[in-house]
Amino acid sequence: MIKIIPVLLLLLGLALTVNFAPGQDPGLATILSVAKSDLRLETVRLLDLDLLMEVQGRVYIVAAPADLQKIRSAGIPFRLETDLLPPSAGNFPRLQGNLNGDFHDYYDVEADFNAMETAHPNQAKVFVLGDSLEGRHIYAMKVSANVQLDVDEPQVLFLGCHHAREWISVEVPFLFAKYLLDHYGSDPDITRLVNSSEIWIVPLVNPDGLEYSIHTYRYWRKNRRDNEDGSWGVDINRNYGYAWGFDDIGSSPTPDSDVYRGRAPFSEPEIQAVRDLISSKNFQALITYHSYAQDILYPWGYTTTHTPDDARFRTLAAGMAQRIQAVNGRVYTYGAAADTLYVTNGDLTDWAYGTRGILGFTIEVPPIDVQNGGFFNAEADIQPIFLENLPAMTYLIGQCIASFVPAAGRVNGQDRRQAPPARPNIRVKG
Ligand code: 0X9
Ligand code: ZN
């Protein structure tokens, strides 16, 4: 997404990382560059441009036809760079050759989840939360001791892949489910966690987008909604129903934008499925995985005002960052999302916190920048990235167990919710 980070990357590296598929989706395939001096941050925001990277003073942009038009109208000189990004060739690493390598695709998630349930019938149960636009299932796995029973226990949710091109974000929650099941009964800490909580894992919120990213266009971000104006996709992390469309900076009303918020809150079935799961449970906390950056973000995203729970959020984020750093030495920064990253509206964590008081975190896993690979994690990095995130996941569950209030003494989630904000900046068309 919008990530402007100075980079010394050589163009060769750029060619290696882009799986460009000319002809398959010409509306999405143009790459162009603009001199950095001609492109100010406000312009980027205003024009809603999807920045790819910065190389030697030039900013590379993934441009749909409408973006090209906007850049032309704004009078910004640009250079077409499409030729620099050839179709993936035989000598490219396997991962970049239209194959997902060790990364899960939809069918891998399905098969592995079913196998895990069969192997661990007392601790793992697979649920179908709903279906995507193209009819794929949105899978969830519940991991808990005596998993068939519903007990009043702390509940924590881990999700991945709202954004199609962020393949690593499937792996972290998926591998967590696998780790819990593989270590239940032998590792006392894991056994205790599984015995005293309900852990829910939804590793692939956007299966249509992921399949499209694997097979057609590696940089695809949104779902596969036909917007019926020649453009495709809604950014499902702008479609949640709290402060939806609060302004046109944190999301876009324009269908061909990469941060298009959709026609209405919760218009997209993929996140209706997530909403319905969350509404039917009593989650204390959640982590939604994204890439790339190394940060831990919490509400609000729609405004730089802090939540009344800022201190609690900060303590938990610091605890997670510290544990992550202890594994491989990587520093994850943390803070309120709108301060730390950029404003977003209609994202999962704002909705989960704003309507149900859930302590919702977005973790953007490595790499830290495009120089280190951007959305293209090496297969060899899957395990290290999962393993460094593992103690943050178990820490968060441990904190939820420690502060759990059983149903009898609990304030209903409904009572914790905060009235959605007015939308002073919303533009009315017509
Ligand atoms: O923009 C997003 O949806 C996330 N970043 S990404 O580059 N993976 O697309 C960040 C969402 C963070 N949440 C808020 N800012 N509320
Ligand atoms: Zn993302």
pLDDT band at 161 (very low <50, low <70, confident <90, very high): very high
The reply to whether 54 and 182 lie within a common domain is: no
Q: What's the mean per-residue pLDDT of the chain?
A: 85
- Specify if 389 maps to a domain: yes
Q: How far is the CA of 166 from the centre of ligand 2 (A)?
A: 6
- Specify if 26 maps to a domain: yes
Separation between Cα atoms, residue 372 and residue 383, nearest integer Å? 17
- Specify if 423 maps to a domain: no
pLDDT digits (tens, 9 = 90+) for 230-263: 999 999 999 999 999 999 999 999 999 999 999 9
The reply to whether 65 and 110 lie within a common domain is: no
Q: How far is the CA of 355 from the centre of ligand 2 (A)?
A: 22
- Specify if 269 maps to a domain: yes
Is 166 annotated in the active site? Answer: no
- Specify if 194 maps to a domain: yes
Place of tokens 């163009």: 11
Bigger pLDDT: 426 vs 69: 69
Please report the pLDDT score of residue 360 as a whole number: 98
Please report the pLDDT score of residue 23 as a whole number: 30
The reply to whether 46 and 144 lie within a common domain is: no
- Specify if 125 maps to a domain: yes
pLDDT digits (tens, 9 = 90+) for 329-363: 999 999 999 998 889 999 999 999 999 999 999 99
Q: How far is the CA of 249 from the centre of ligand 1 (A)?
A: 13
Cα 254–255–258 angle (5° rounding)? 90
The reply to whether 33 and 128 lie within a common domain is: no
Please report the pLDDT score of residue 92 as a whole number: 28
Please report the pLDDT score of residue 349 as a whole number: 98
Bigger pLDDT: 406 vs 411: 406
Domain endpoint, select from 24, 53, 84: 84
Please report the pLDDT score of residue 408 as a whole number: 80
Q: Which domain holds residue 249?
A: 106-416
Residue 413 has pLDDT above 70, yes or no: no
Q: Which of 79-88, 96-105, 257-266 has the lowest mean pLDDT?
A: 79-88
- Specify if 424 maps to a domain: no
Please report the pLDDT score of residue 69 as a whole number: 84
The reply to whether 263 and 359 lie within a common domain is: yes
* pLDDT above 70: percentage of residues in the chain: 82
- Specify if 97 maps to a domain: no
Global pTM reads: 0.79
Bigger pLDDT: 11 vs 320: 320
CATH number of the domain enclosing 176? 3.40.630.10
pLDDT digits (tens, 9 = 90+) for 255-303: 999 999 999 999 999 999 999 999 999 999 999 999 999 999 999 999 9
Please report the pLDDT score of residue 425 as a whole number: 44
Lining ligand 1 with CB less than 6 A are 1, 163, 166, 237, 290, 297, 301, 337, 341, 344, 347, 349-350, 362, 364
pLDDT band at 412 (very low <50, low <70, confident <90, very high): low
Q: Which of 52-56, 253-257, 399-403 has the lowest mean pLDDT?
A: 52-56
Residue 39 has pLDDT above 90, yes or no: no
Domain count across the chain: 2
Please report the pLDDT score of residue 411 as a whole number: 66
The reply to whether 302 and 398 lie within a common domain is: yes
Which of 2, 344, 345 should be mutated for ligand 1, with most atoms under 8 A from CB?
344
CATH number of the domain enclosing 15? 3.30.70
Q: What is the pLDDT averaged over residues 297-314? A: 97
